[in-house]
Structure formats: structure tokens, C-alpha cells
Structure 1
Amino acid sequence: MLIASAVVVVVAVAVVGALGLGGGGDEGPSAPPRTGSVVSVTRETLTERTTVDGQLGYGTELPLPVKATGTVTWLPEQGATVERGDELLRADDRPVILMYGSLPMYRSLGLAPREDEQAPADGQDPDGQGSGEQDPGEQQLGSGGGKSPALVGPSGSPAPEGPGSGEGTDASRTPSEPPELWGMDVMQFETNLAALGYTGFTVDERFTTGTAAAVRRWQRSLGLAETGTVGVGDVIYAAGKVRIGSAGARLGSAVGENTLTYTGTARKVIVNASAADASWAVRGSAVTVGLPDGSPVRGEVASVGKRAATPEGDGGEGGTGQPATIPVTVTIEDQKSIGRLESGPVTVEYVGNEVKDVLAVPVAALVALAEGGHGLETADGRFVAAKTGLFADGDVEVGGPAVREGMKVRIPE
């Protein structure tokens, strides 16, 4: 029994010693460290970035201004790219050609017939064969009144005399020469004709016999009658090459204004931005487009809508209550960076706010002070008050009388 009691006493003393309950020393065990690292207060530029959703595509489809009449006999495939000189469609098996320009085709272009001869009917050869009756829907261009021929303007009036008229005046034209059409639409058409390789005339505002000869060669290449006159429905102008959209007509139906739609060939992003927070949407501002695979692409704000709308209504009484939005169009200059993707959801990142040349620390360095507000713990354990500003990319703008550049502060664990 004595031996067993001794063993128990020894074990108890060892346990007490291990727990540190029997010592009477002045120093206890050291406290664990309160910080994981020390950082410096730096001076930098902070940029706050915001991400919104967008939709990649070719933009809104617009109807082609088709002025040809008859029956639709051919349509291109949706998504096809049409360039200058290519066919957009065929009406009564007659091609409608794309040209580049901003002025719509509003009249036929050709040489006006002389008063001593009768204009041929539409679609007949200009040699006078056929019925000899003029199409009532086609306006005869001429000077009228038995006077000698003159230049004919866009509205049928004589061209003004003066510098640049030159050969077009009555004094320099013989009665056997036909009058010439003139106007900016003539120059626009001649520019396209020359770009397609049909030359032999001066690109100006006058439709001359040289222009008519080039038109006949162009018509021959299209398999058309070589009349030397371009009908109002033969050409459609666009700013550049177009991408064919959806068709509003089928083969065999009548040609109309909604026969075919088109878009541009460049892919762009449409963002329905909040009308109340669209200050970032400024034309020319740089943004970053995030593709579905996560790769970033540089973009630029090209246009900003001026009319706000709600997703499902007007936002008033009985509306959806959703915030009003405005459409923002973002263009992407490097189309190859998008790859083969034609449409889909994307993100658009923009700079919401930016401050330059400010003191900043990591957000994790901020501590809450007992008296309120935020502060920083210095390397020697003191706490100093700090005013906070912009939060961006994990850093925060700080300031205050005790905060200076290069100061060492702790990041609490």
C-alpha cells in the first residue's frame, strides 16, 4: 500500500508540473503573434472597375431600301457577306446591286433623250426598236421648250452656269449632243463604277456619254440589256459591305420594303446600361469585353442611346418596376481577337471611379477603433486613426494627420 501511494503522488506531481500549475515564477508563457505581415503605406493610383452584362452580335437588323418591283426570284443566304458590286437579291430575275454611299438612289441615271427623238420604252434597246411608247412611270429628262440641250439637274432644272460647268453650257454644246444629268448622286455612282473597274469618264457630277458607255459595259457583265441607263431599283447604297439578315419574303412573293434585312459585318456589344448610373458610357471611352471563355478583349464605347426604356414596360404605374436602361454600343476594333464567336453573352468592364496620387494600404490592414471609425496599427503596436476613401482591387485610400507615405503598418490575423 505504501508503494502504491508513492506512485500516485509522483504521478500527480508530474501532471501538475506539466500543466504549469505548480510554478510560482513571474513570467508566464509567451502570447502568440498578432500579425502575419507588415506592409508599407504607398502612394499610387486606385481604379474602381465595374462589370455589367452585354450581348455580342452584329447589331440591330435593318430593312434594305429595296425599290425594285416584281417577283422575288433569288435571295442570298442569311449571314452572307455582300460587297460592292455583288447581288443583294433578284427581282424578275434582274439583279439588285450593292454600291457604297450615303445618298439613297432616288432617280434613274442616264442621258436624257434629245428632243428630235423619242425615248425608248423601259427595257428596250436605245436603238428605237419596239413600240416607241415611253413608260408612264419614267420621267423624261430634257430642257424642253424647243431650246438647245443643256445639263439637267436633280429636279429636272438646268444646271447653273459658272465655274465647273464648262462643256455643259449651251454655248459649248452642239444641238446633236444629248443633255447630261448632273448631281451628287451622279458622282456617287461614278465613284462606285470606277472602283469596279469601269472607267473611260471623269468622276464628277455629270453623267456624260463616257459614263453611259461604262454603264453599258457594266450591264453586259451582269447579263442585262445594255441601255446605258441605271434604274432607280437597280442599285442599293450602304456605308460599306453588309451582312445579310433575315428575309421578310419568300421566293415567288412580291418585292417589298421588308424583303431583306441587313447589318454591318463587324461584331459589336450591346449593353442595356442603367439610366441612373450611365456616367461611364461616354463615346470614345475604353472598356474591356470579357468573352464567354474568359479572355479579355479591348473595346470602345461607340454610341449611347438618348431614350430610356424599361425591360417590360414604361416603368410607371402598372409597369414592372425595373430600372430604366439605355442602350450602349461597344465596338471591337480587333475582330480577330473574338475568334469565330458570332453571338452570345459577354461582360463589359469599365472604370467607375479613379483617384490618382493617393496614399493606400491593403484593405486587410484596416482595424476598427474602440472610439469608432477605422485605424491602422503601426509596427511598434500603436494605433492611429485613418480616414478611408476609394476601395479598389483589394486596396483602400487612407489619410489623416498621422498617416504618411512609407509608414509600416501591421495586417491583423
Structure 2
Amino acid sequence: MTRRPARRTLLVAAGVLVALAGAGAGTWAVVGDTTGADTATQHRSAHATSTVTKGDLTDAKTFSGTLGYGTAVPLPATAHGTLTWLPEPGSVVHRDQPLYAVDERPVRALHGRVPLWRPLERGVSGEDVAQLNQNLAALGHDVALDDVFGPRTQRAVRAWQRTHDLPVTGVLDGDQVAFVDGDVRVDGVTGQLGAPAGGDVLSLTSTKRVVTAVPPEQDAERLAVGTSVTVRVNGVGDPMPGTVVDSRPTKTESGGAAVEVTIAFESGDRDLPAAATAQVVATGRQERGVLSVPVAALVAGPGDGFAVDVVRRDGTTKRVSVDVGFVAAGRAAVTGAVHEGDQVVVPS
């Protein structure tokens, strides 16, 4: 059973009623004289008309976004010594390439989510060792893909050290490598050449393009992690499918609480600009096969109800009571003595 919106929320001063609707919202008021609601016949006015349509009604909302590389993550220096080389902002660092150098010794990137928090040597085990074995295998070394630093891992580490002209100890530590989350892009350089290593030296992002958006707090659930959305990057062309992959607390410009969401999307072979604005469209509830009219066509009906002014063949109008259901995209689902194809008055 369709629940009728309470008309007491619609009335405005002086008996003048105005219909308002935002995208996916139902902010209501009504236009017209409420007397003689159901059967009043009037001469056709100069008001514009709209067609009663039958189809799907979808609650969609568009959010502004920015094309970029996502939130930058700091990289602390774990090596000991003096910073002697730092990469350029915007450069991409792949597996086994230098992130920075201390005392002219490169600290190389290995892939993994767990930071290097201890020396890795024979006899230890854990997720960090599993990451190491996966990296050594990806670089062509013969290792077991488990989480144990055994003799095969030790031989592989020694071979890796010889390849890079390092002391062949069979032990791996923060003077030689750092774990980062895949291939990374240098977003900024915070370390200074000639300064002692320590603290954050780089800020890193993914190499993949993403769109970030900060929805109003009341709309944050529309962009929950895992939600499928549509992304349009200005100047690129057709919309692209996307998925919300991250959500984190942030602050608005006025200092209020907000949520920043990250949307990954499939760009195919499109050339994306270095920076651009974007729109993110999130769909919500959907009603299929309903009759609908523009929200602006609704006028006050009898009691707490609503009506529309249907244009007859002779140009006169008849006020017809309707029940109002789902409201989305500036249209309202209606039931009553109206039919697909009817013309209804839309007051200016």
C-alpha cells in the first residue's frame, strides 16, 4: 500500500503552493487553489504541460569529484645514514627499483602491505616473510611460497644481494628494502638531501587513476565501500563504470566532519588528463513500471491528498485526485484516474 506524504508539510504562506524536487529528493509543496478539487473544470491556461509516462523511476544522486591518484601515504626511512638520493615527484617506482638512497646505497621497493619491522633472516616466519618469498619468486628466484625463512629463501636473498653489489649476508633489513603496496607513484618528497635518514622521506600513491569525492554526511551511505557507481570525467567522454573502494574520515573546509571516498573505475583505452573534475552518480531505490508525473505538476487535492490538472481534448482541464508514491529525479509515481499519455499542467 502506498503511503501518502503528509500534506501538512507542503502548505506555504497565503495559500500559494509550490512543487519542488531535488534529484532523488522529495521536498514538497503544492500550487493551486484547493477548492473544488476533484471535479472542478477550468478553461485551459497558458501553463506548460507534461506527459504522464510509464516506466522505471530511479533515485539517483550526483556528487562532485576530482580525478587523481588517491590519498598519499607517507614512507618513513628505516635505513641508517645520510640521504644521498631522492626521486622526482611524479616518478613511478616498480618492484626492485630504488625508493631513495642512504650513504649512496639504494633502498629498493618490494611489494607488500606489512612494513618491514624487523631483520628477515633464517628461522623467522610470518606475513612479512611470506611477502618476501612472493617478491623473490616474482624476481625469478627459487623459493617456497610459504611464510618460512628457510634455506631456499636464504640462498635467494644472497643471490639478490650479489645482483645489487651488496654485502652477501643472507639477512634482509631496512637498509636494503622497504615494503610498499605495489607499484607506487611519488606524490611528494619530504626528505632533504644531506639530512640524516629518519622520519618520513616520501609520500606515495597508487599508480592507478581514481576519483575522490566528499559527499555530504547525510549522503555518505550512498557511497559505501563496494557500491557500484557511474563516473564521468569532464572532457573524457562517455560515463565509465566504477566502484567505491575506500572511505575515510576527513574535515570540511569549515572544520566539520565528513567522509572522503575513493572510486576506482575502468577507463579502457581512454586518455585521461593529468587532473580534472568529475561527477559520480550513485543510484539507490528503483521502482519499475510506474506511472509518473513531474513533481511540479502536483497540486492540492481533497483533505491531505494531491491532484493533477489533466488537459482534456477540448482544452479544458479537470482536477484529478492521485495517490503519490515514490519520488525520484524530479518525478513522482502516481496512481488514480490518470493514464499513460495524459497531458497534465505544470504550473510555472
Please say whether Structure 1 and Structure 2 have the same fold, judged by a TM-score greater than 0.5.
yes
Separation in 2 of the partners of 1:226 and 1:370?
Answer: 87
Separation in 2 of the partners of 1:204 and 1:353?
Answer: 46
Map of 2:38 onto structure 1: none
Map of 1:327 onto structure 2: 260
Separation in 2 of the partners of 1:229 and 1:390?
Answer: 65
Map of 2:20 onto structure 1: none
Structure 2: gaps of 5 or more residues: 1-42
The reply to whether residue 344 of structure 1 matches residue 276 of structure 2 is yes
Alignment of 1:234-383 (within 5 A): 234-293=176-235, 295=237, 296-305=239-248, 307=249, 309-314=251-256, 324-334=257-267, 336-337=269-270, 339-351=271-283, 353-361=285-293, 366=297, 373-379=307-313, 381=316, 383=318
Separation in 2 of the partners of 1:80 and 1:72?
Answer: 18
Going from structure 1 to structure 2, the CA distance change for 1:375 and 1:224 (only over 3 Å counts) comes to: same
The reply to whether residue 94 of structure 1 matches residue 37 of structure 2 is no
The reply to whether residue 43 of structure 1 matches residue 54 of structure 2 is yes
Going from structure 1 to structure 2, the CA distance change for 1:367 and 1:110 (only over 3 Å counts) comes to: closer
Q: Is the 8 A contact 1:367 1:377 kept in 2?
A: no
State which of 321, 335, 348 in structure 2 corresponds to 1:399: 335
Separation in 2 of the partners of 1:412 and 1:75?
Answer: 65
1:252-299 CA-partner distances (Å, limit 9, x unpaired)? 221122111111111212211111233312222222223222632322
Q: Which amino acid aligns with 1:398?
A: V
**Number of residue-to-residue matches in the alignment:** 299
Q: Is the 8 A contact 1:72 1:252 kept in 2?
A: yes
The reply to whether residue 229 of structure 1 matches residue 171 of structure 2 is yes
Report which stretch shifted further, 235-244 or 383-392.
383-392
Separation in 1 of the partners of 2:179 and 2:210?
Answer: 22
The structure with the larger Rg is: 1
1:103-152 CA-partner distances (Å, limit 9, x unpaired)? 221222234xxxxxxxxxxxxxxxxxxxxxxxxxxxxxxxxxxxxxxxxx
Going from structure 1 to structure 2, the CA distance change for 1:345 and 1:408 (only over 3 Å counts) comes to: closer
The residue matched to 1:278 in structure 2 has which SS? helix
Going from structure 1 to structure 2, the CA distance change for 1:379 and 1:76 (only over 3 Å counts) comes to: same
Q: Is the 8 A contact 2:309 2:344 kept in 1?
A: no
**CA RMSD of superposed structures (Å):** 3.3
1:7-28 CA-partner distances (Å, limit 9, x unpaired)? xxxxxxxxxxxxxxxxxxxxxx
Going from structure 1 to structure 2, the CA distance change for 1:49 and 1:207 (only over 3 Å counts) comes to: closer
The residue matched to 1:63 in structure 2 has which SS? strand
Deviation at 1:344? Answer: 2.9
Separation in 2 of the partners of 1:37 and 1:65?
Answer: 65
Alignment of 1:6-85 (within 5 A): 41-85=52-96
Q: Is the 8 A contact 1:38 1:408 kept in 2?
A: no
Q: Is the 8 A contact 2:184 2:206 kept in 1?
A: yes
Going from structure 1 to structure 2, the CA distance change for 1:79 and 1:279 (only over 3 Å counts) comes to: same
Going from structure 1 to structure 2, the CA distance change for 1:353 and 1:214 (only over 3 Å counts) comes to: closer
Separation in 2 of the partners of 1:406 and 1:340?
Answer: 43
Q: Is the 8 A contact 1:38 1:409 kept in 2?
A: yes
Separation in 2 of the partners of 1:48 and 1:335?
Answer: 28
- State the TM-score, normalizing by the size of structure 1: 0.63
Q: Which amino acid aligns with 1:63?
A: P
Higher strand share: 2
Going from structure 1 to structure 2, the CA distance change for 1:290 and 1:224 (only over 3 Å counts) comes to: same
Map of 2:140 onto structure 1: 197
Q: Which amino acid aligns with 1:360?
A: S
Q: Which amino acid aligns with 1:219?
A: Q
Separation in 2 of the partners of 1:274 and 1:65?
Answer: 33
Going from structure 1 to structure 2, the CA distance change for 1:362 and 1:100 (only over 3 Å counts) comes to: same
State which of 122, 128, 131 in structure 2 corresponds to 1:188: 131
Going from structure 1 to structure 2, the CA distance change for 1:388 and 1:378 (only over 3 Å counts) comes to: farther
Q: Is the 8 A contact 2:58 2:328 kept in 1?
A: yes
Q: Is the 8 A contact 2:308 2:345 kept in 1?
A: no
Separation in 2 of the partners of 1:300 and 1:368?
Answer: 40
Deviation at 1:102? Answer: 2.4
Going from structure 1 to structure 2, the CA distance change for 1:223 and 1:299 (only over 3 Å counts) comes to: same
Separation in 1 of the partners of 2:152 and 2:54?
Answer: 71
Separation in 2 of the partners of 1:300 and 1:280?
Answer: 12
Going from structure 1 to structure 2, the CA distance change for 1:308 and 1:73 (only over 3 Å counts) comes to: closer
1:231-263 CA-partner distances (Å, limit 9, x unpaired)? 233221123111112111222221122111111
Deviation at 1:198? Answer: 1.7
Going from structure 1 to structure 2, the CA distance change for 1:44 and 1:256 (only over 3 Å counts) comes to: same
Q: Is the 8 A contact 2:81 2:103 kept in 1?
A: yes
Q: Is the 8 A contact 1:275 1:308 kept in 2?
A: no
Report which stretch shifted further, 261-270 or 230-239.
230-239
Separation in 1 of the partners of 2:68 and 2:56?
Answer: 35
